[in-house]
Amino acid sequence: MKIHEYQGRQLLASFGILVPAGTLVESIEQAATTYKQVAAESGSDLVVVKAQVHAGGRGKAGFVKLVRSAKEAEDAARFMLTNRMVSVQTGPEGLEVTKLLFAAGVDIADRAGGAKGAKEEFYLAITTDRATRRNVLIASREGGVDIETVAHNTPDAIIKEPLHPIMGLQQHQARRVAFELGLKGSQVGQAVKIMVGLAKLFEAKDCTLAEINPLIITPPTPTHADGQVLAIDAKFSFDDNATFRHKDIQAMFDPTEENPAELRAQRFGLSYIALDGNIGCLVNGAGLAMATMDIVKLHGGSPANFLDVGGSATEEAVTEAFSIILADHNVKGVMVNIFGGIMRCDVIAAGIINAATKHKNPDGSTGFKVPLVVRLEGTNVEAGRKLLADAKGSLPTLQPATDLTDAAMKVCKAVG
């Protein structure tokens, strides 16, 4: 599960990490008054308007704008609320933006000894490193909007510090990272506090990713001779298997940011992930679903989805599964691959027939128009096959398959 930046900022603040104040805006009409309020509270006319969507790359897409007047704030809000955001992380169709964060803008110090225009923007994140099976702190001096390029072209610019499985991130580790980042004076202590806080947050809330990019340093002032170290972006993902024990995180769930088909599937206990191919797959068991997608690929096809109906799906859930698969207009054929263990093949067959009789085509007719290849094996397989054979009238496009390879070849051939 992901959350918005404005929610992430609240989390950071609750773990003692300094974040500039901000307010959520959901309409163009609110823009001018909110601008004035945020500017008045921070004592600066610089405000940053930021699209709140579950995707990054907003800066480069023009969906993070620094404004200095109510008029500019309103223009930025109008642009973001009336255009879809297309960034490197969204795909060409982009995302609709319905929420904006108006945050106090900050000045960023020039990079000491850096190239002209270079600013003190750092990358800081905690995630799980599967290779070492540890949580790891990742940091870089080259933070900001080009971190992906940095990681790709100059991997040496990325610092990694593993967290102790029980003790978490130690102060001395955080200090070492702070020095490696080139921080000086009171910046070190400020950054250590942020790193340790972020590690605690990651652990306490069962995160899979806790990212601050950029972490910045403000220019020196008489009261802060080394500047202030602040988080001005926040990105979090949480382990879905652990959200049950975090009511506060659950409350941050925003269904409008989720794929509607995936949400619908969740309600029926189906694990569904939309993909971009044209062969719908209905399978029981996650391992078999992976193997099915592999074999479809092997025979030149491309899966439209991952769908695991689980070990004990009801006829109703199977009917729903078909309805979700066929709602995807890219689907040109469906492959059903069931190995009945706890799952009974006759339940699946009944679900297929039920789904076919209920399925409505755009032209008003009922029944499946797309080729349907079915491979059944295991518990009650004979009963299942008989049900399908007897229902041939309502399943004109049905092709039974003898095994996995036969099924994959048939469905790939059928979609052309």
Residue tagged active-site, from 5, 6, 120, 123:
123
- Residue with Cβ nearer ligand GDP (61 or 249): 61
Cα–Cα distance, 195 to 199 (Å, whole number): 6
- Residue with Cβ nearer ligand GDP (25 or 404): 25
> Min. distance of Cβ 321 from ligand GDP in angstroms?
35
> Min. distance of Cβ 8 from Mn ion in angstroms?
11
> Min. distance of Cβ 233 from Mn ion in angstroms?
4
CA angle at residue 370 from 364 to 372, to 5 degrees? 130
Kindly state the DSSP code that residue 163 receives in the 8-state scheme.
Answer: P
Cα–Cα distance, 325 to 211 (Å, whole number): 34
> Min. distance of Cβ 126 from ligand GDP in angstroms?
17
Kindly indicate which of the ranges 211-219, 250-258, 274-282, 339-347 contains the residues binding Mn ion, using the contact rule CB under 5 A. 211-219
Kindly indicate which of the ranges 131-139, 227-235, 258-266, 312-320 contains the residues binding Mn ion, using the contact rule CB under 5 A. 227-235
Which residues of this protein are in contact with ligand GDP, per CB under 6 A? 48, 50, 56-59, 64, 66, 105-108, 121, 144-145, 213-214, 232-233
Radius of gyration of the chain (CA): 26
Q: Which of Mn ion, ligand GDP, none binds 239 (CB below 5-8 Å, type-dependent)?
A: none
Q: Which of ligand GDP, Mn ion, none binds 232 (CB below 5-8 Å, type-dependent)?
A: ligand GDP
- What angle, 0 to 180 degrees and rounded to 10, lies between the N-to-C axes of helices 260-267 and 315-326? 170
Concatenating the DSSP letter of every residue in 308-366 gives: E--TT--HHHHHHHHHHHHTSTT--EEEEEEEESSS-HHHHHHHHHHHHHHPBPTTS-B
> Min. distance of Cβ 213 from Mn ion in angstroms?
4
Whether the ω angle into residue 214 lies within 30 degrees of 0, i.e. cis, is: yes
Residue tagged active-site, from 5, 120, 211, 257:
211
- Residue with Cβ nearer ligand GDP (5 or 74): 5
Q: Catalytic: 315? A: no
> Within 10 A of 406 (CB to CB), how many other CB atoms are there?
14
Residue selected from 190, 213, 278, 284 as contacting Mn ion according to rule CB under 5 A: 213
Cα–Cα distance, 343 to 334 (Å, whole number): 20
Residue 51: is it exposed, middle or buried by C-beta count within 10 angstroms (0-12/13-18/19+)?
Answer: buried
| Residue list 229-268, contact with Mn ion (CB under 5 A) | 233
Q: Catalytic: 211? A: yes
Which residues have a catalytic role annotated?
Answer: 123, 211
For Mn ion, the binding residues (CB under 5 A) are 213, 233
